[in-house]
Amino acid sequence: MQFASKPYRHILRDIVMSPFNLIPENTAAPILSGQLRGKKWLIESTRKACWLGIYEKPFQQLLAEHLRSSKVFYDIGAHVGFYSLLASGLMSSGIVYSFEPVPRNVFYLRRHLSLNNAGNVRVMQIAISDHDGSDAFQEVSDRASGHLGSGSLPVDVRSIDSLLVRQELAPPDCMKIDVEGEELKLLRGATACVTRYKPTIFLGTHSEQLYVECKRLLCDLGYSLKTVQNLRNGRADLMALPSGAT
């Protein structure tokens, strides 16, 4: 039910947010709510929803439920570390691998980990796809939705399977994948991993075609799928569990 027009909602939002806008953006402030409440966060690093603790709040809870029984977590497309920090606190006796290719994001990722003494996170400054080598990365203004293949930033690229073969990673219990259009290639480059270790997978798909093709691939690999959230423009979030898992 629509109680307010879009412009009016924006006015209300601006009124609510106005006190927070007075805080200097280079402040390291406690996160105000959600699973990371109380953790230190650099306000300038990304959208204020992360510092407020309201960023993807239902997904925070869902992911936290699965992390509590995990020992190894892959945060692929870690950005500035919101979910890496969440995993670190819930898996104090486990290890988090945090994959992020963009130097500016890696700077804030490392700062967030340092501010919160998150010593069980290993930062991997690489992009993940279906091959090993290098590629060009396209950065965008929000620093959160860049992608491989058409930009000016050179980045190292690896596949999950090759990293496991070289024993650079421990096998995952849970994976979060948010790679802005590279998700199908990433899954193809992790087929041996997924087949052998059967991790729980949280996957963001970024077009209707990728949604269909990723679902097909995961079903072929023996997974059952649940759509966690339908987003706009064909985007969706999926949870993939090995068939028979609850």
Q: Give per-residue pLDDT as tens, 103-162.
A: 999 999 999 999 999 999 999 999 999 999 999 888 776 656 666 777 789 999 999 999
Structural domain including 197 reads 30-242
All residues at 6 or more sequence positions from 102 whose CB lies less than 8 Å from its CB, including other chains: 137, 139, 143, 146, 153, 155
Nearest to 148 by CA among 181, 106, 100, 186: 181
Q: Evaluate whether residue 57 is within a structural domain.
A: yes
Q: Evaluate whether residue 12 is within a structural domain.
A: no
State the pTM of this model: 0.88
Count of domains for the chain: 1
Q: Evaluate whether residue 24 is within a structural domain.
A: no
Q: Evaluate whether residue 155 is within a structural domain.
A: yes
Check which CATH number belongs to the domain holding 174 and give it. Answer: 3.40.50.150
CA gap 236, 207 in Å, rounded = 8
Do 127 and 135 form a contact (C-beta atoms < 8 A)? yes
Q: Evaluate whether residue 10 is within a structural domain.
A: no
Q: Evaluate whether residue 69 is within a structural domain.
A: yes
pLDDT tens digit string along 46-72? 999 999 999 999 999 999 999 999 999
